[in-house]
Amino acid sequence: MFDQGATPEAEDLAACVADLETALGDPPATPPDPAPPLQPLLHDLVSAVLAPTSALSGADGQIRATGAQGFFHADSRALSQVRLLIDGREPEPIAHSLTGPGGARFVSLARWLGDPGPDPTVRVDRVREVTAGGMAETLDIVSSAATGVTATVTLELACDLAPIEVVKSGRRGDPVPAVDGGPGTLTWASQGITVTVTGDHAHAEDTAGDGARLRWEIALAPRGRVTLRWEAAVDDPGAVVTTPAGPVEWGRPRVTAADHRIVRLLDRSLDDLRSLRLAEAGAPGDTFLGAGVPWFLTLFGRDSLWAARMLLPLGTGLASGTLRVLARHQGVRADPESGEAPGKIMHELRRHEFTVEGNGLHLPATYYGTIDATPLWVSLLHDAWRWGMPEGEVAALLPAMEAALGWLGGDADADRDGFLEYIDTSGHGLANQGWKDSGDSVRFRDGRRAEAPIALAEVQGYAYEAARHAAALLAAFGRPGADRWNEYADAMAERFRARFWVDGPYGRHPALALDRDKRPVDSLTSNIGHLLGTGLLSDEESATVAGLLASPAMAGGFGLRTMSSRDGGFSPLSYHCGSIWAHDTAIVVAGLARAGFGAEAARLAEGLLAAGEEFGYRLPELFAGDDREAVLRPVPYPAACRPQAWSAAAAVTIVHAALGVYPDVPSGVVALRPMAGAPLGALSVDGLRIAGAEVAVSVDRDGAVTTSGLPSGLTAVKGSGPDGS
């Protein structure tokens, strides 16, 4: 050992270091917090669905351990990775297509195999079929090479059983280890859920903490073919939703149209609607539509009601099931945590509490935070009755309707000012409880956010319409109260006219809402389009609203913008303040057509048809509200769900609005009022369902309408009043 005393050179060096540290400042005591995870993007994923099961992959068919990709069942991710490799390499994708409910095909190449030269000689067709509770794939590997080919085919698998809200938060679940389940079989089990994967003639391998795999050794003869098959199954006894027990509740009409986009959009949409059918686990006989993939594949009051209402031209069976399942969950007590109140229709059903990290949202498994589902329930019952829902089924639901009216005339109007308003008193529920339920959706024209309690314009229209509809049902079935609810509607119209109409740069129009101080929220939005056809507006007021909705500021994109491009809160990629929603546009198209504004309705419908063509005829939940002349094709909203029930149902609404068929089966009348001049071109539909009978309706290129197949006792009446009656 020797003495390490400080030398003059060392002292000088230490002094320099000290000076440098002083100049640079002290190093941080702890590293900066990592950026919070973001909600995964969805717009470029391919969804194959047969509810309550779905598979979300890249366009190449690969399910990678990233983002929202996965094989899901009933709000849990059953497999977080399903990656196909050939000789340790990913095949190169060249095409994919949807092949019907639950089906998809992915075409790729293994160019490193087979003959040399520019033409590929080994092709892989990956055919995926999602079933209720399972997924199967056929791997068809075909060689056109002149010599034999050998390869190792591997399917890399992983499981995290992450709840859907964890995936939505941008997080991942903890890996679940695989267990050897026998020849060619792997299993994963956790949280009461078991996932089993089996590969025909495959070697199953658990890779000790690094996932698991199925492996095949293949040999292709010259110009030969090998077909491999594997499948996954999920056992989930805790799921609250299941596959309906019976056949599809609606018909599939035969359609011819001058505009081919109508036929293609309807075909794709009907496949998607079929794939979204759900039932409660304890009541598989009552079908409703799951709201959308991946986040909302469960019962949503508003979404399921609107979708069922939009599908009434194809039958009343879906409406019956939706009404019954929501009636079973109708509120019976006051609970500020869940938003439940006597008579109120629920918003959302989950298997457990739904918590999205990072935004403070914490919802109970059965949540009632919706201001509009209850009046929409009443109107669906009425409309289904008019389309021919059996009277016995209608009568059985009248007590639930009367309970809903009790909420409408009571707790819905907490301050007793005559308007329906909402406020989240729990502090962790939805801040906004209309269909535009994002936290920033209710804004003044200058962009300021409105403070709750909030009374939305369209909700007052729903309440007016529900009151009229309830009065008709009560009178028809000999129950008391019809006069009271007609008086309620009359008073609502007067109050609305006095308080909601504002003057601004667009002229006079209904405000979006009233805020907590009863000030009109003066932005111009699509919400006011939902008032058309409800009866709340006069003919003159309807004309004013129709003109505003058809203006370039609202209709300059591929459909109807949620907010005028001239408003301070407008952004084309905002969730509710400038984007375009297919169902919103379709509802307004229906209202415009019913009120006699065919040209305006056709303009918006054409925007959806153009968007549908660009999105492969599977309309997303929403897309950007950019101007058509600027972007030429619709810009995706990157987190939009596809398929979405009410977006798919929009195709049925476009067809129905063009035909203008408005039945009143109890009165023995079917009103025929197509869009004047057939602005969407000639259209013929065989297979509409009125009172259970298949009916054919055609509109020629001049707008003349003909019909056949009406059941006895029904008379067609052409050129009826603006409301279609």
Q: How far apart are CA 141 and CA 434, in angstroms?
A: 50
**Torsion angle of the four alpha carbons 81, 84, 87, 90, in this order, in degrees rounded to the nearest 10:** -90
Tell me the pLDDT tens digit for each residue of 564-578. 999 999 999 999 999
* Mean pLDDT confidence for 494-505: 96
440-447: average pLDDT? 98
User: How many domains, the chain?
Assistant: 2
The yes-or-no verdict on residue 312 having pLDDT over 60 is yes
Strands 193-199, 185-190: pairing kind: antiparallel
Question: What is the tens place of the pLDDT at every residue in 433-443?
Answer: 999 999 999 99
d(CA 714, CA 725): 14
Give percent of the chain with pLDDT exceeding 70. 94
Indicate the pLDDT class of residue 69, thresholds 50, 70 and 90: very high
Q: Which of 205, 239, 273 is the last residue of a domain?
A: 239
Gyration radius (Cα) of the chain, Å: 29
The answer to whether residue 454 sits within a structural domain is: yes
pLDDT of residue 20: 42
Which amino acid appears at position 134 of this protein? G
Does one domain contain both 152 and 184? yes
pLDDT category at 339 given cuts 50, 70, 90 is: very high
Query: Between 26 and 480, where is the model more confident?
Result: 480
Look at residue 21 and tell me whether its pLDDT is greater than 80.
no
| 545 lies in some domain | yes
Q: Which residues contact 117 (CB under 8 A, 6 or more apart)?
A: none
183, 262: one domain = no
Q: Does some domain include residue 2?
A: no
* Closest C-alpha among 591, 536, 537 to residue 560: 591
Per residue, what are the HEC states of 433-471? Answer: CCCCCCCCCCECCCCCECCCCEEEHHHHHHHHHHHHHHH
- 60 and 172 in a single domain? The answer is yes
d(Cα 302, Cα 583) in Å, to the nearest integer?
12
**Which of 183, 214, 239 is the last residue in one of the domains?**
239
Residue 385 falls within a domain, yes or no? yes
Alpha helices in 116-238 (DSSP H): 164-168
d(CA 664, CA 350): 37
pLDDT at 28: 54
Q: What angle do CA 380, 591, 504 make, to 5 degrees?
A: 125
- Looking at the fold, whether 191 and 258 belong to one and the same domain comes out as no
> With contact defined as beta carbons under 8 Å apart, do 67 and 81 qualify?
no
Q: Residue 630 domain-assigned?
A: yes
Per-residue pLDDT at 579: 98
Residue 601 and residue 503 share a domain: yes
Quickly state the pLDDT bin for 714 (edges 50, 70, 90): very high
610-624 residues labelled b (16+ CB within 10 A) or e (exposed): bbbbebebbbbbbbb
Written as six digits, the tokens of 599 are 């040209």
If asked whether residues 219 and 340 sit together in one domain, one would say no
The predicted pLDDT at position 359 comes to: 76
- Extended beta strands in 35-80, E state: 46-50, 53-57, 70-73, 76-79
Structural domain boundaries enclosing 571 = 242-708
Which residues are CB-contacts of 116 (< 8 A; sequence separation ≥ 6)?
none
Strand order in the sheet with 661-664: 661-664, 669-672, 715-718
CA distance 524 to 539: 20
Residues 297 and 223 in one domain: no
DSSP label at 177? P
pLDDT, mean of residues 166-192: 94
What global pTM score does this model have?
A: 0.94
pLDDT, residue 1, reads 36
CA distances from 140 to 46, 103, 468 (A): 20, 15, 59
At 208 the pLDDT is 64
Instruction: Return the pLDDT at 181.
Output: 86
Name the E strands within 252-364: 254-257, 277-280, 283-289, 348-349, 354-356, 361-363
Q: Helix (H, G, I), strand (E, B), or coil: what is residue 681?
A: coil
Place of tokens 């907010």: 563
Q: Look at residue 95 and tell me if it is in a domain.
A: yes
Is residue 33's pLDDT more than 90? no
Q: What is the DSSP letter of 62?
A: -
Strand partners, 644: 292
Taking the C-alpha atoms of residue 119 and residue 396, their distance in angstroms, rounded to an integer, is: 66
Helix ranges restricted to H, 311-390: 317-328, 373-387
pLDDT at 528: 98
With the C-alpha atoms ordered 413, 416, 418, 422, is the resulting torsion angle positive or negative? negative
Q: Per-residue pLDDT averaged across 321-336, rounded?
A: 98
Grade residue 5 by pLDDT with cuts at 50, 70 and 90. Answer: very low
* Structural domain includes residue 29: no
Q: Does pLDDT of 3 surpass 90? A: no
User: Are 589 and 499 in a shared domain?
Assistant: yes
**Cα–Cα distance between 40 and 42 in angstroms, integer?**
6
Percentage of the chain beyond pLDDT 90 is: 91
Q: Give the span between the Cα atoms of 618 and 98, in whole angstroms.
A: 10
Bridge partners, 105 (sequence order) = 97, 127
Tokens 């070697």 belong to 203
Q: Per-residue pLDDT for 16 more than 70?
A: no
Here the CATH number for the domain that contains residue 235 is 2.70.98.40
Tell me what pLDDT residue 347 has: 98
Residue 257 and residue 235 share a domain: no
| pLDDT tens profile 599-615 | 999 999 999 999 999 99
Q: Does residue 166 sit within a domain? A: yes
Sheet holding 455-456, edge to edge: 455-456, 513-514, 520-521
What average pLDDT does this structure show over 359-378? 95
pLDDT tens digits for 198-248? 999 999 998 766 679 999 999 999 999 999 999 999 999 999 999 999 999
pLDDT class of 720 with cuts at 50, 70, 90: low
DSSP symbols for 580-598:
EEHHHHHHHHHHHHHTT-H
* Helix, strand, coil tally for the chain in percent (to 5): 30, 30, 45
Distance CA 77, CA 75 (A): 7
Tokens of 550: 């058809």
| Closest among 531, 592, 524 to 561, alpha carbons compared | 524
- Using CB atoms within 10 Å of the CB of residue 14, give its burial: 0 to 12 exposed, 13 to 18 middle, 19+ buried: exposed
Q: 124 - beta bridge partners?
A: 108, 141
Contact (CB, 8 A) for 552 and 601: no
Contact between 306 and 649 under an 8 Å Cβ cutoff? The reply is yes
Residues 603 and 172: their CA atoms lie apart, in Å, by: 44
Q: Give every strand in the sheet of 76-79, ordered side by side.
A: 46-50, 53-57, 70-73, 76-79
Structure tokens at 355: 């918590």
For 114-137, write each residue's pLDDT tens digit.
999 999 999 999 999 999 999 999
The label of the residue with tokens 């389009």 reads: 529
- With contact defined as beta carbons under 8 Å apart, do 723 and 535 qualify? yes
User: Which H helix or E strand runs over 406?
Assistant: helix 391-408
Residue 6 to residues 2, 13, 15, 668, Cα–Cα distance (Å): 13, 11, 12, 108
Asked whether 576 and 438 are in contact (CB, 8 A), the reply is: yes
Tell me if 49 sits within 8 A of 275, measured CB to CB.
yes
> Is the per-residue pLDDT at 7 higher than 80?
no
Could you tell me if 386 and 509 lie in one domain?
yes
Domain shared by 233 and 350, yes or no? no
Extract the tokens encoding 407: 């909420």
Q: Mark which of 189, 212, 239 sits at the end of a domain.
A: 239
Q: Is the confidence at residue 586, as pLDDT, over 80?
A: yes
User: What confidence tier does 700 reach under pLDDT thresholds 50, 70, 90?
Assistant: very high
**What torsion do the CA atoms of 357, 359, 363, 369 make, to the nearest 10 degrees?**
-160
Instruction: Specify whether 231 is located in the same domain as 264.
Output: no
The CATH number of the domain holding residue 440 is 1.50.10.10
Would the pLDDT of 10 be above 50?
no
Q: Assess contact for 109 and 91: CB atoms under 8 A.
A: yes
Question: Partners of 355 in the beta sheet?
Answer: 362
* Mean pLDDT to the nearest integer, 418-445: 97
What is the rounded distance in angstroms from the CA atom of residue 383 to the CA atom of residue 379? 6
pLDDT for 29 equals 56
Record the tokens describing residue 454, joined without a space.
């909030």
